[in-house]
Each structure stands twice: as structure tokens, then as C-alpha cells.
Amino acid sequence: MSLLSVRGLTKTYDGVRAVDVVSLDIEVGEVRGLIGPNGAGKTTLVGMICGRIAPTAGQVIFAGRDITGLAAHRRTRLGMAYTFQITSIYAGLPLAENVALAARPHMAGAQVPAAVDAALAQVGLDGHDAANAGDLSYGHQRLLEIAMGLVQKPRLLILDEPTQGLSEAEVVRFLSLIQGLPTDMTVLLIEHNMDVVMALADRVTVLDAGELLFEGTPDEVRADAGVQAAYLGVA
């Protein structure tokens, strides 16, 4: 069953189509990779899915409901969580309070402390809960933002370049984290690290110049000549 269906999503800026009639379906529990060269339209597409960018045309359907006109904060209430390509944290607040702010709209107040502790432990930041978020390394800020997404217990977790700035050991931990998520949690992963995409994704969607270039399993993506030419650097 599809959790997310995108139908003909299009975004035009001053006559230029950043996203051009893209359609896709993501099943419940699937890890979907979204790849493409810089400027392919990945972040614009995701912005329309999560409600931060209004589409020029097309539909976003989530759990059978047309949410195309729904505000971003209302989509989070339905079970979407989105981590940004550029970290979006509260730098002057402790880690625990950052995660608590993300948790409070989704659970009773008494549940928040334990949920915060669990989310920080999931990403390997337990023991640092009193530190200010702004004092973390960039890679650890990325992990904090993932914890802020996970604590919401979303139906759809959208991760935009989550391994950017992570050390090799942290990338390995991230792989284990995603592989250990509940089987009914759906993940949309926008990522340039192809090893990460190929290790995690059930299916991969490839964008190029705003258009859907290819969609298939990781092995099918590796083998496709069009993807090799457009993205993987093989002529």
C-alpha cells in the first residue's frame, strides 16, 4: 500500500521548471532513495512533499488523503518529519530541549523526557543532553536533527543529506540506525553518498534537470546507462 503518492508535481520559477511533472509512489515501510546531480530538483520536490514549497501543478497524497494545499505544520501532525539539508536546530538551547520541542506536539508531557532520552541514544548523542546544540560539530548537529525527527515517531521520515559532515564511524552508525527502524516507518532519503543509498534503499528514484530519469532497485540503477551518464559519471 502506498503511503505517499505524488502525481504530476511541477514547480516553475520565472518560466523555468525546477521540477517537471514528477510522479512517484512510496510504499509503507519502504526506504526510498532520491538521487540526482546538483540542480536536479531534489530539494524542490521534497519541499513540495513536506509543504514548504507550493507546487505550480500536481498533487501530494499522503495515506490516501490529498494534502496538496495543507500547511507544513499540519503535515507533521499527520506523521511527516523532515530534516533539512542545512541544519535547522536551536543553537542556544541544550540538545535535550531541542528534541523536546520536536516531541511535545506529538505526545503527552509526561512521555517527553523518556522519548527525548531514547531519541538521543538512537543517534549516539546520549550523555550530551545538557550541551548546547550550537557547540556541537556539524556532523553531530546533523545527528541531533535526525533525533528531532525520530522523536516524533513519524510515518514518513524525510532525510535530506543526513550523512553530510559525518565521520566514517558515524556513517556506519547511521546505516545501523536506519536498518533498525520499525518496519512500518517509511523513509525518503536524499543522499549524495551512493554507498549509503545502495546499502539502505529498497528502490531509488533518479531526477535529472527536474524530470524523473529512472526508478528501480539499487542494482537496476547501477546498471542503467542513462543514470551512469547523468549522475554516476560513466560515459
Please tell me whether residues 63 and 166 are part of one structural domain: yes
Domain that includes residue 133, residue range: 86-152
Q: How many CB atoms lie within 10 A of CB 29?
A: 16
Which is nearest to 119 in space by CA: 95, 80, 147, 141?
147
When divided into structural domains, the chain yields a total of 2
Please tell me whether residues 218 and 172 are part of one structural domain: yes
Burial of 58 (0-12, 13-18, 19+ CB in 10 A): middle
pLDDT in tens, the chain (235 residues): 799 999 999 999 998 999 999 999 999 999 999 999 888 999 999 999 999 999 999 999 999 999 999 999 999 999 999 886 546 789 999 999 999 999 999 999 999 999 999 999 999 998 887 889 999 988 888 889 999 999 999 999 999 989 988 899 889 989 999 999 999 999 999 998 999 999 999 999 999 999 999 999 999 998 988 888 876 655 4
Q: Is residue 11 part of a domain?
A: yes
Q: Is residue 75 part of a domain?
A: yes
d(CA 87, CA 3): 26
What pLDDT score was predicted for residue 235?
43
Give me the CATH number covering residue 19.
3.40.50.300
Which is nearest to 162 in space by CA: 123, 133, 126, 136?
123
Please tell me whether residues 158 and 99 are part of one structural domain: no
Please tell me whether residues 18 and 43 are part of one structural domain: yes
Please tell me whether residues 170 and 107 are part of one structural domain: no
Look up the pTM and report it: 0.91
How many residues in the chain? 235
Please tell me whether residues 143 and 168 are part of one structural domain: no
Which is nearest to 21 in space by CA: 204, 188, 212?
212
CB 25 within 8 A of CB 2: yes
d(CA 170, CA 199): 15
Q: Is residue 135 part of a domain?
A: yes
Please tell me whether residues 148 and 158 are part of one structural domain: no
What pLDDT score was predicted for residue 214?
94
